[in-house]
Amino acid sequence: MVKGVFFDFNGTLYFDQDINRITWKETIDAISNNSIDFDSFFTNYKAVMDYIVIEDAHKLINKPYTKQEIDYWVNYKEDRYRQYGIDHNRTVLPPGAKEVLDYLKSKNIPVILCTSSIIENVDFYYEYFNLSNWFNKNQTVYDTGEYNSKAQMYQQCAKRLNINIEEGIVFEDSSKSIMQAIEAGAKKIVAIKKDDTPTVPEIKQVIKDFTELDYSIFD
């Protein structure tokens, strides 16, 4: 039996790609006064921490910035992201996810959340998605500003579960984060299908949503 399961959230347990794009466009338009071509700019920023996107937007238009300004725009974007989810009733787990989490709970298999989101979003996820039914919020690894990559975050998750990462399973959607999970030592990955899902031996299943998962992977 697997010793632990690592779950990404955005794009994995929350199909929020459209919400992210809508609220990022609003933010980049506001930063640049509509002078940045958002579609070409944002192509390069999948699974990238907020402050990097915002710093690069400022650099692109030669606009000086301070840490306080970056923090302001991070909060600006994420405030709108959370409100959009609430206003449009977009606060549900994807098909089959609850059943998978219930199964892991019934088997006493530890789970942990590994998200590049900021603490305000983590609070939002736990409140609106009832994540405390399965996850320990105090164990959750999120963007505190101390991690340089998702690889470091996955390594921290393994420490918090007191296992080696190769003894667990990672659920991810982003090709970049999948490769960083492998860099961290992951040997078993379930990928949520994307156009750019990599073909690597560590990916054991590729699924559209959790209804397609073969539970034998947990054996």
Each residue of 150-170: pLDDT tens digit?
999 999 999 999 999 999 999
DSSP string, 150-180: HHHHHHHHHHHHTS-GGGEEEEE--HHHHHH
Predicted pLDDT of residue 52: 87
Q: Which tokens in the block code for residue 106?
A: 């019934």
| pLDDT tens digit sequence for 56-74 | 999 999 999 999 999 999 9
Greatest C-alpha distance within the chain: 54
Predicted pLDDT of residue 184: 97
Predicted pLDDT of residue 35: 94
Predicted pLDDT of residue 47: 66
Tell whether pTM > 0.95. Answer: no
Mean residue pLDDT of the chain comes to 95
Q: How confident is the model at residue 45 (pLDDT cuts 50, 70, 90)?
A: confident
Lowest-confidence segment of 17-21, 32-36, 46-50, 94-98 by average pLDDT: 46-50
Q: How confident is the model at residue 55 (pLDDT cuts 50, 70, 90)?
A: very high
Q: How confident is the model at residue 110 (pLDDT cuts 50, 70, 90)?
A: very high
Tell me how far CA of residue 120 lies from CA of 71, 82, 83, in angstroms.
12, 9, 12
Are 80 and 27 contacting, i.e. CB atoms less than 8 angstroms apart?
A: yes
Predicted pLDDT of residue 91: 95
Predicted pLDDT of residue 214: 98
DSSP state of 96: T
Q: In this model, does residue 196 exceed pLDDT 90? A: no
| pLDDT tens digit sequence for 169-194 | 999 999 999 999 999 999 999 999 99
Predicted pLDDT of residue 140: 98
